[in-house]
């Protein structure tokens, strides 16, 4: 999948969640939703899955600009951030690439907004 920004981190799973949340805040993003995939899959279909969290992150200013340019862009919001720990112990953080999401809308006015969001989210990953 080429539509994401990813980084493997030398942190525990819980440390990675804390660090990425702090880094998102430092760039103006809030976490609107937290989905514990491991817990959900265990409860719903009684399977064991690795540690896997999906954070729904939103920068209100960028979201407002994007929604003003294309009301349907809300289908692609908020920006998903995945933190997962593989069986070998490695922890990876991936963030949906806003430029790829904007391309799906076929609205050229979203290009600048998406580029700004991507730069900001790239800085988020650098801070972790």
- Separation CA 104–CA 47 (nearest Å): 33
- Segments forming the whole domain that contains residue 64: 4-126
Q: Would you state the pLDDT for residue 104? A: 79
Tell me the CATH number at 105: 3.30.310.70
Distance of alpha carbon 21 from alpha carbon 55, whole angstroms: 9
What's the burial of 75, exposed, middle or buried (CB within 10 Å: 0-12/13-18/19+)? exposed
How many domains are there within the chain?
A: 1
Tens of pLDDT, residue by residue over 48-87, are 999 999 999 999 999 999 999 999 899 889 999 999 999 9
pTM of this prediction?
Answer: 0.91
């Amino acid at each position: 999948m080429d539509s994401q920004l990813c980084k493997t981190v030398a942190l525990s799973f819980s440390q990675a969640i804390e660090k990425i949340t702090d880094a998102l805040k430092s760039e103006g993003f809030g976490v609107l939703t937290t989905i514990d995939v491991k817990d959900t899959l265990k409860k719903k279909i009684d399977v064991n899955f690795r540690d896997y969290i999906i954070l729904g992150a939103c920068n209100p200013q960028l979201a407002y600009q994007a929604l003003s340019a294309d009301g349907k862009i809300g289908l692609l919001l908020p920006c998903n951030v995945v933190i997962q720990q593989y069986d070998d112990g490695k922890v990876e953080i991936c963030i949906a690439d806003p430029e790829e999401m904007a391309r799906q809308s076929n609205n050229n006015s979203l290009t600048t907004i998406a580029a700004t969001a991507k730069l900001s989210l790239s800085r988020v990953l650098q801070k972790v």
